[in-house]
């Protein structure tokens, strides 16, 4: 990945596996905690359907604009079909949508720290002026709606990830309601809800986005539904705005395997509710163990499948390097905030064996 051309992301573990996929059994030897993919498999009924029909699914053109998947999303999320736009992951939808939401020179507010793709696309692709709303470490990086709204006084766009990455915390339903009531009427709000299904019930704003013209929700099916490799995501917004985007959205952008798996996943809410419950248990355990490691100075509160923590010497970059030698890939968060200086790491919450390896690698690296 060339940082001059793209935002910095995790995913370096593919170098250890082999970027030309010669021997995928190597995936068992690495702990890919530098990306936030689910530690669990997709719903067994999704896996079974794909397994049963794989060659046919591989050679067949999918429904052109994912008509059936869109209907299933609408039914399962309780929103009108006309408020949904599908894409091959929310990443591709960002590149379609932002040029219609912001102009060169217009003012956009981002969070600090925050997922890096947004500053890349708004500053470098669209050419916005970007102001970063600083979340306070002392408050566990939880947004304060009043302070946030004050920073949006002159902005035409607020972009937030809720719950946020890399912090894991965010605004609950009450906080979001307050923020929306305080924002100036000319300011649109993009809420990236990639991790919202890990959070307590009631945080999701999809229904608000379907009725409030100012609000757009970006919903990835990568992480919570364990479909990162398939690339499925959607936007929820005002039907008029969605209708303006539709002619620009390419045909067959969501592959057939992805459409079938996503439909089956949405039909299996009980499986994912259990995955969420177990993820919470594992996160609480991992946070406790991390906090007890000498050299870990703070572990921040999280409602997601990942944890942000602050480290002292030998510094985040060196710790990442040492862990890598042990097959454990963690994320150095320097690129996610101008305030981070070789002192913040993020780890995904994984299964018990991988979490044990993460803790052991960190113990050695910090020592
Ligand atoms: C906050 C956030 N938004 C969006 C994405 C991209 O998601 P997708 O797989 O839907 O493109 C990621 C991926 O890591 C993410 O962390």
From the alpha carbon of 36, which atom of ligand 1 is closest? 14
**Domain residues for 218?**
44-267
Closest among 61, 63, 64, 86 to 73, alpha carbons compared: 86
Residue at a domain's end among 267, 296, 321: 267
Q: Dihedrals φ, ψ of 279, to 5°? A: -60, -40
Kind and range of the H or E run holding 51:
helix 44-59
Any domain includes 38: no
Q: Are residues 232 and 284 in the same domain?
A: no
In short, whether 43's Cβ falls inside 6 Å of ligand 1 is: no
Q: Are residues 115 and 262 in the same domain?
A: yes
Query: What are the 10-residue block averages of pLDDT along the chain, 367 residues in total?
Result: 79 89 91 97 98 98 97 98 98 96 95 96 95 96 96 96 98 96 96 98 96 97 98 97 96 97 98 98 98 97 98 96 97 96 98 98 96
Burial (CB < 10 A; 0-12, 13-18, 19+), residue 294, is exposed
Residue at a domain's end among 220, 251, 267: 267
Any domain includes 5: no
Q: How close is the Cα of 34 to the center of ligand 1, in Å?
A: 13
CATH of the domain at 299: 3.90.1150.10
Q: Are residues 113 and 193 in the same domain?
A: yes
Q: Are residues 247 and 287 in the same domain?
A: no
pTM: 0.97
Q: Dihedrals φ, ψ of 23, to 5°? A: -140, 90
Q: Are residues 249 and 278 in the same domain?
A: no
Q: Are residues 228 and 248 in the same domain?
A: yes
In short, whether 233's Cβ falls inside 6 Å of ligand 1 is: yes
Q: Are residues 252 and 287 in the same domain?
A: no
**Cα-atom radius of gyration of the chain, to the nearest Å?**
20
What pLDDT does residue 1 have? 65
218 DSSP β-pair partners? 192, 235
In the three-class reduction of DSSP (H, G, I as helix; E, B as strand; rest coil), residue 161 is classed as strand
What pLDDT does residue 326 have? 96
From the alpha carbon of 221, which atom of ligand 1 is closest? 10
Q: How close is the Cα of 313 to the center of ligand 1, in Å?
A: 30
In short, whether 36's Cβ falls inside 6 Å of ligand 1 is: yes
In short, whether 115's Cβ falls inside 6 Å of ligand 1 is: yes
In short, whether 8's Cβ falls inside 6 Å of ligand 1 is: no
> Ligand 1 atom 3: the closest Cα is on which residue?
194
Residue at a domain's end among 267, 284, 311: 267
Q: How close is the Cα of 361 to the center of ligand 1, in Å?
A: 26
Can you tell me the distance from the alpha carbon of 327 to that of 321, in angstroms, rounded to the nearest whole number? 10
Any domain includes 338: yes
Q: Are residues 250 and 175 in the same domain?
A: yes
Interaxial angle between packed helices 256-266 and 67-77, expressed in degrees from 0 to 180 and rounded to the nearest 10: 20
What pLDDT does residue 339 have? 96
Any domain includes 78: yes
From the alpha carbon of 195, which atom of ligand 1 is closest? 1
Can you tell me the distance from the alpha carbon of 25 to that of 28, in angstroms, rounded to the nearest whole number? 6
Any domain includes 144: yes
From the alpha carbon of 115, which atom of ligand 1 is closest? 1
CATH of the domain at 240: 3.40.640.10
**Residue among 8, 37, 220, 346 to mutate when testing ligand 1 (max atoms within 8 A of CB):** 220
What pLDDT does residue 104 have? 94
Q: Are residues 341 and 307 in the same domain?
A: yes
Domain count, the chain: 2
Q: In this structure, what token pair is assigned to residue 300?
A: 């921040």
**Residue among 96, 219, 222 to mutate when testing ligand 1 (max atoms within 8 A of CB):** 222
Q: Are residues 298 and 183 in the same domain?
A: no
């Amino acid at each position: 990945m060339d940082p001059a051309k793209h935002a910095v992301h995790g995913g370096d573990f593919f170098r250890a596996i082999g970027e030309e996929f010669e021997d995928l059994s190597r995936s068992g030897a690495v702990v890919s905690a530098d990306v936030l993919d689910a530690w669990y498999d997709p719903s067994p009924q999704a896996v079974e359907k794909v397994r049963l029909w794989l060659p046919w699914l591989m050679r067949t053109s999918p429904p052109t604009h994912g008509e059936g998947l869109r209907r299933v999303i609408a039914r399962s999320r309780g929103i009108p079909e006309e408020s949904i736009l599908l894409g091959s992951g929310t990443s591709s939808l960002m590149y379609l949508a932002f040029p219609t939401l912001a102009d060169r020179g217009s003012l956009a507010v981002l969070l600090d720290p925050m997922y890096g793709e947004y500053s890349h696309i708004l500053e470098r692709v669209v050419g916005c002026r970007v102001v970063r709303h600083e979340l306070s470490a002392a408050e566990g990086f939880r947004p304060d709606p009043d302070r946030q709204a004050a920073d949006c006084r002159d902005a035409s766009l607020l972009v937030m990830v809720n719950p946020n990455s890399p912090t894991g915390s965010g605004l609950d339903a009450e906080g979001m309601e307050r923020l929306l009531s305080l924002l100036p009427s000319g300011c649109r709000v993009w809420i990236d809800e990639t991790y919202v299904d890990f959070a307590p019930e009631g945080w999701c704003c999809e229904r608000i986005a379907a009725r409030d013209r100012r609000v757009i929700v970006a919903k990835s099916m990568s992480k919570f539904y364990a479909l990162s490799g398939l690339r499925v995501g959607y936007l929820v917004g005002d039907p008029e705005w969605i209708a303006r985007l539709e002619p620009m959205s390419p045909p067959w952008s969501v592959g057939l395997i992805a459409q079938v798996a996503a439909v089956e996943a949405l039909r299996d809410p009980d499986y994912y509710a259990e995955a969420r419950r177990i993820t919470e248990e594992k996160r609480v355990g991992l946070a406790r163990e991390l906090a007890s490691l000498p050299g870990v100075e703070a572990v921040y509160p999280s409602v997601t499948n990942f944890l942000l923590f602050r480290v002292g010497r030998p510094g985040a970059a060196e710790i990442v390097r040492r862990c890598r030698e042990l097959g454990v890939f963690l994320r150095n968060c320097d690129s996610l905030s101008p305030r981070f200086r070789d002192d913040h790491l993020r780890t995904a919450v994984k299964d018990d064996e991988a979490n044990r390896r993460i803790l052991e690698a960190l113990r050695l690296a910090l020592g």
